[in-house]
């Protein structure tokens, strides 16, 4: 559509079918055609006298004046065939986005709250951008500013294997497990209150296992108003299981955002999670204090922070809060110089950060063998568990960091009895995906590769049924979990 000069503005209204244009057919409401003709007869939607004075074409409508010097002209485009919103899929989302491209309406804060009334939608966590009465009042401070001068680009590469799961008290872990199975790539979970959910160990383990194999889980509250926070222990437990906070996003917006982010090419898993937790198009309100974890990459920055902290001053509370997080950041990035100073500074204090992780957790998760070696020499607990129940060994297994697994095992790290029992299901999943590195990592960590999954089948059975000869050969060569000896000398690199 063209944009008129002066105060007049041209808009394109896209009609797909829905409440405003429903008609009765044999006693059933279905999307009705000819919306433009209906609007033309309603003075609130069309000023016929002004349209005749200007000689507007038949497909163009004009609203009554919003102010003495402002008019809005618009046309209505009806999708053929019309479809009800309840039948829409990602294909229709992309179709509508491509139709209204350079002219996108902001709707990512809206949810439907009434099935019968005309005012069927509301924006629970953001005031309306505009209110229409005798005049049009625009809340300009809420309107997102255009970023750059480029034209709007519609991203049509959307991930379709996403879903929505609503948790409820007493939900069986088996049901959650079944829902999280491949080919599912991402899931929005609806939780209670400010992001709380059941804290049963078996349910949390299912979420944790899914997150470790790459499934992206976004936590949204099922409440109309409010946001996901970590104020309650139940919310912290879900965060520790690997979920991404959805803050105050609606479930509808979170599902669409998840589909979009997972469809972007070339992003790492951490990169996708970072995008999901960031406000991209005004769809969420991140916490005011939401700052990225500081990075100590580079010895100059590490020395600067260490020198600053060495002043100590008199604020012990600040020290107790800063040193563990900074030490974890240094361990994660492999900055050995900064890590050594920070560990020495915190030698008489706990080095656990707010999530219960120690620098050894961070180094193991990132595969930083040098940092792991240093921390083991400093005597950090090799079997320490964070608030989510994860050990450095489990984090190293999840990252397939076999050199780190070897170091931890040599220092006495081991899987718990429950983890050994539960490993069978994860081994079957890895076998079904042909993930040889994952199987090697679990075997190196001490898991019995013959351990059956929840359905009684072992990883070898799964690989044979799938006809994956490479995995079959690997499992046979590893001799059913014979430990490090079956994996050969490669597992203990020189550090």
- 175 CB neighbour count, 10 Å cutoff: 13
DSSP string, 19-47: GGGEEEETTEEEEPS-HHHHHHT-TTT--
221 is catalytic: no
Q: What are phi and psi of 41, to 5 degrees?
A: -90, -5
- Per the CB < 8 A criterion, the answer to whether 219 and 183 are in contact is no
Nearest one of 49, 61, 65 to 7, comparing CA atoms: 65
Cα 338 from Cα 460, distance rounded (Å) = 45
Provide the b/e sequence for 299-338 (b: ≥16 CB within 10 Å): eebbeebbeebeeeeeeeeebeebbbbbbbbbbbbbbbeb
Beta strand extents in 53-185 (DSSP E only): 60-62, 71-78, 111-112, 121-122, 130-132, 136-138, 162-166
Contacts of 177 by beta carbon, 8 Å cutoff, 6+ apart: 206, 425, 454
Whether omega for the bond prior to residue 328 falls within 30 degrees of 0, making it cis, is no
For residues 232 and 262, is the Cβ–Cβ distance under 8 A?
no
Tell me which of 19, 191, 243, 425 is the catalytic residue: 19
User: What distances in angstroms separate CA 392 from CA 239, 359, 368, 378, 481, one per listed residue?
Assistant: 17, 9, 12, 15, 20
- Among the listed residues 244, 241, 225, the one whose alpha carbon sits nearest the alpha carbon of residue 233: 241
Distance CA 114, CA 122 (A): 9
**Torsion 18-19-20-21 (CA) sign:** positive
In angstroms, rounded to a whole number, what is the distance separating the alpha carbons of residues 46 and 234? 53
Report the DSSP beta bridge partners of residue 30: 23
> What's the rounded Cα separation, in Å, for the pair 422 and 444?
16
Per-residue tokens: 44 = 């609130």
Helices (H), 105-200: 173-179
**Residues belonging to the active site:** 19
């Amino acid at each position: 559509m063209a944009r008129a000069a002066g105060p007049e503005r041209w808009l394109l209204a896209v009609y797909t079918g829905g409440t405003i244009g429903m008609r009765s057919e044999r006693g059933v409401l279905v999307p009705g055609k000819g919306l433009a003709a209906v609007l033309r007869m309603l003075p609130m939607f069309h000023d016929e006298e002004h349209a005749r004075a200007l000689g507007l074409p038949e497909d163009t409508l004009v609203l009554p004046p919003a102010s003495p010097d402002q008019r809005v002209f618009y046309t209505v485009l009806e999708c053929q065939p019309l479809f009800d919103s309840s039948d829409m899929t990602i294909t229709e989302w992309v179709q509508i986005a491509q139709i209204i491209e350079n002219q996108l309406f902001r709707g990512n804060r809206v949810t439907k709250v009434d099935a019968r009334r005309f005012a069927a939608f509301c924006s629970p966590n953001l005031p309306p951008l505009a209110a229409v009465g005798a005049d049009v009042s625009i809340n300009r401070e809420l309107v997102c500013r255009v970023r750059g001068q480029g034209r709007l680009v519609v991203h049509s590469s959307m991930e379709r294997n996403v879903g929505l799961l609503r948790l409820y008290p007493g939900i069986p872990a088996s049901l959650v497990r079944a829902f999280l199975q491949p080919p599912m790539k991402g899931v929005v979970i609806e939780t209670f209150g400010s992001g709380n959910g059941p804290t049963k160990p078996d349910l949390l383990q299912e979420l944790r296992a899914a997150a470790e194999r790459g499934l992206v889980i976004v936590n949204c509250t099922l409440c109309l108003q409010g946001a996901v926070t970590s104020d309650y222990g139940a919310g912290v437990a879900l965060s520790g299981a690997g979920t991404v906070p959805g803050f105050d996003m609606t479930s509808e917006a979170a599902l669409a955002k998840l589909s979009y982010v997972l469809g972007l090419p070339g992003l790492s898993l951490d990169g996708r999670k970072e995008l999901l937790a960031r406000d991209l198009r005004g769809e969420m309100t991140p916490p005011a204090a939401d700052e990225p974890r500081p990075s100590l990459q580079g010895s100059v920055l590490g020395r600067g922070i260490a020198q600053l902290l060495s002043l100590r001053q008199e604020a012990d509370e600040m020290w107790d809060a800063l040193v563990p997080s900074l030490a974890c950041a240094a361990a994660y990035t492999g900055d050995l110089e900064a890590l050594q100073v920070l560990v020495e500074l915190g030698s008489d204090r706990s080095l656990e950060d707010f999530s219960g992780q120690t620098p050894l957790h961070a180094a193991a998760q990132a595969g930083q063998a040098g940092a792991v070696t240093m921390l083991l020499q400093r005597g950090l607990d090799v079997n320490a568990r964070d608030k989510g129940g994860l050990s450095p060994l489990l984090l190293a297994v999840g990252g397939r960091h076999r050199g780190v697994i070897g170091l931890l095992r040599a220092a006495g790290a081991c899987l718990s009895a429950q983890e050994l029992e539960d490993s069978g299901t994860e081994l079957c999943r890895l076998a079904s995906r042909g993930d040889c590195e994952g199987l090697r990592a679990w075997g190196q960590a001490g898991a019995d590769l013959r351990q059956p999954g929840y359905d009684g089948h072992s990883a070898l059975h799964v690989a044979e049924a799938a006809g994956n000869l490479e995995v079959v050969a690997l499992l046979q060569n590893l001799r059913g979990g014979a430990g490090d000896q079956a994996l050969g000398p490669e597992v203990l690199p020189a550090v």
